[in-house]
Chains A and B, each alone.
Chain A
Amino acid sequence: MTDKGLSRRRFTQSLGIVLASFALAPRAAFGQAPGALPFSLRNNRKLEGWIRLEPDETVTVFTGKAELGQGILTALAQIAAEELDVEFDKIRMVSADTSRGPDEQYTFGSQSVEQGGSAIGAASAQARGILLAAAARRFGARPEDLQIKLGIIAAPDGKRATFWEVASADPDLLRGDITAAAPKKPSEYSIVGKSINRIDLPGKLTGAPSYVQDMRLPGMVFARVVRPPRYGAKLISLDEAAVRALPGVIAVVRDGNFLAVAAKREEQAISARNALASAAHWSDDAVSLPDITNLRGELQKLRAETIVVGTSGQPEPVPGRVKRVSAEYARSYLSHASIGPSCAVAWLKDDRMTVWSHTQGAFPLRGDLAKVLGMPNAQVDVIHMPGAGCYGHNGADDVALDAALVARAVAGAPVKLQWMRDDEFAWAPFGPGMAMRVEAELASDGKIVDWSYDVWSNSHAMRPGQAGGVNLLAAWDLSTPFVKSPPPHIPQPFGDGDRNAVPSYELPRKEIRNHLLLDAPVRNGSFRTLGAHGNIFAIESFMDELADVAGIDPLSFRLAHLRDPRARVVLQAAADKAGWTPGKKGDGRNGRGLAYCRYKSIGMYAAVVVDVEVDRETGVIKVPRVVMAADIGLVVNPDGAKNQLEGGIVQAVSLTLKEQVAFDRREITSRDWSGYPILAFPEVPSVEVILMDRSDPSLGAGEGSLPPTSAALANAFAHATGRRLRELPMTPERVKASFS
């Protein structure tokens, strides 16, 4: 719902255009293999489903991708303006809305430019071609003799018409299937490649209504939930009467273990929530949670399905005279820690449920909501509205169901339900804890001749819309509960807990095993980069450990195992920018570390150099400076991409030094910001990002800066102190323990 002015009626009346097929060679700039129809077009072929010319001389562009704070709507608008040849300011974006616009599934995996951008590029290029051909007929000219500039088509004899004039002559002009596109060459770009300011920020920075939290509908009421004290606890009894008598309370919703309250005013809903929590008696049932002080061992004890996800050269014997080295690593459970707790607005009106949500997947969420509500998909709509930043699957989807369940109980009134801080910290899905083990053999020339790798973690992919169940929190608590979907099998190179478990290095022999844990004691989900964060932390830490054993500088050691020229370029660029000095020793307090990662093995390239200062008395690690070189292919918006890469670096420093979801053996104990501290202003490093200038397909910039930053920080600590921390986070306690 980005364009507040575009009513549904106007939408249906707007000029559809389109055209017959233009058989043109597709292009690859935003990530599509030549000849293939862009992913997002495969199930959304209609041109009018992507682009409409409006009577007010604007262009509405529909996308199934959602603005999560990553600036995607701006980048997609740039692509549309570029390929259509209209002014950037003419583009109006409509984002992720099941009532209109394409189904592009989820906004995840750094794929929005690659998938959504290539689709919008193809649709825009096709629309431009259709308009050009129609103008040629109108002018009695040949298309190749016409010129297009800023939405105006001009003939050599001086005749001219705007896109909107051309389209208005034929309402069916821009209707029909998208068949192929004749996009521009990157050398012809004038809008793509520019650092255009985000279209949504002026509103967000001045208090214009921008977020789902800012929605106000007529007669809207406020709701809150009361969740059990711990996983597994069951509601035994509830004294509802006292809560119903509180000022403003409209409804108390109780269904199995699901509890919520609605009130006229927001503060009344919060007071009623507190009263409801006191009035509820829960069973002592609990799920036995892992011992957080021995996370690696605890994860390795859980039931697992083991899959070999990468192998090469296995029957070949390892050459003689080798050194064997092995190490084990772990990463804590991580919270999204969104600054604003998840929120949704739901409205049941005339047998239709409409839910406004900051979900990453409006269409998949719609499907799961419809199942739980017992309604056909066609009677449920999910419309994306921005929320606070999420870094994957936070509470957005869950709160959408919570709000819909309350909306059913308050006949006809729209319901705004926002989680409280403890709901978000205790109940939103976490990035799962991970255990990693690496073993390698080094030949006398310092080359790795064998590599063996194991990773243990729960699935990082438990979103709504997955087969075999419903992945929404309240659905599991209802008196007639729904089951959780089983963990999916996501093959390499995307992977799940095994994302980036297969190293990008040249290794003559390797075997990589993913131990997908089947018991899930702590709620698991998708956090930025899935398993790549833990795997690259382990692999890149271990590369430094091997380099040390081999007596080779970490940069040279990596280069000796990398053939891909783009990988070598980013490593060298980061090292040069940072002033990498081969062989320089840490002094016990100050050190510098390096790491490399090609995200998802097929995505962006990144090399990072991190400097640290270690206070040996307090155990505090300071990070004064981080330098990154990144190759993300064609860059649509350089400043936007840098903002994403910088943010990922800062977030990774926070994860590495501070973050872990805390629990005892029965319940989550980190329920506010004092229990889950994140990096604060005085602790934030200076960050320099260098972007490689490439015209290859865009590779996605949303995530790839995190994993190598964590690893480089661990390597910098080892370089400074000679001690290695193999468990994240690298807290002062662990730092001090490493010196004892």
Chain B
Amino acid sequence: MSYLIKVNGEPHLVEATPDTPLLYVLRNDLGLNGPKFGCGLGQCGACAAIVGGKLARTCSIALRDVGEDQVTTLEGLGTVEKPHPLQRSFIDEQAAQCGYCSNGMIMAAKVLLDRNPNPSEEEIKNALEDQLCRCGVHNRVVRAVRRAAEALAR
């Protein structure tokens, strides 16, 4: 079946079965790299994107359920040349080791900052509770989100 979905501000016509998880459409049909396969179970957050303004696990959303919602991925925030303030602050704080979970961290932080532009450390930790990181860069991530909040407030 064909579906018209809106990703990073652009419409895309994709051919896939209705139950195809959005993750594989984003990665394989649209060639995006931000959302990663981590567990396929909605447990780790590596596949996160923003769908209809909400943080979503794209491994667990069927293509048929995306509908009119705008999808924003890591690529929709910024680029190497023009990073989003969150991406800039993750670089400045060196808030990654392997970087595989970073997509989910940044997307979850984006949703948090959209809702709460000035979160405390505790609020950041709570907002990221379901985003798993194995390399142990959590404290750097929290600092990066605070730093981005300050940059966005300026």
Query: Which residues of A are at the interface with B, using a C-beta cutoff of 8 A?
Result: 68-71, 197-198, 200-211, 213-214, 216, 222, 247, 265-267, 270, 336-341, 386-389, 391, 418, 420-421, 639-640, 643-644, 646-651, 654, 672-674, 678-682, 684, 686-687
Contacts and interface: CB of A to CB of B under 8 A. Distances in A.
Given A216-B31, A267-B24, A421-B40, A340 B46 contact: yes
B61 interface: no
B151 to A, nearest CB: 15
A267 B21 contact: yes
Contact of A681 (B33, B46, B134, B142): B142
Given A70-B97, A388-B100, A681 B87 contact: no
A339 B33 contact: no
Interface of B is mostly: loop
A418 B59 CA distance: 14
A226 to B, nearest CB: 15
A221 to B, nearest CB: 11
Nearest to B127: A681
Given A339-B133, A389-B135, A678-B134, A266 B98 contact: no
Interface in B1-48: 16-17, 20-21, 24, 27-28, 31-34, 36-41, 43-44, 46
A360 B78 CA distance: 31
Contacts of A420: 40
A685 to B, nearest CB: 8
B71 interface: no
B43 A672 contact: yes
Best-buried of B87, B132, B141 by chain A (most CB within 10 Å): B132
Contacts of A649: 136
Interface of B: 16-17, 20-21, 24, 27-28, 31-34, 36-41, 43-44, 46, 73-75, 77-80, 83, 87, 90-92, 94, 96-103, 106, 122, 124-126, 128-142
A71 B103 CA distance: 18
A208 B33 contact: yes
B28 A266 contact: yes
B100 to A, nearest CB: 4
A672 to B, nearest CB: 6
Given A205-B74, A340-B100, 10 more contacts: A201-B91, A206-B87, A339-B36, A341-B37, A420-B40, A643-B137, A647-B97, A648-B136, A673-B41, A686-B139
Nearest to B100: A388
Contacts of B92: 197
A208 B80 contact: yes
A143 B57 CA distance: 62
Nearest to A389: B98
B59 to A, nearest CB: 10
B98 A68 contact: yes
Nearest to B92: A197
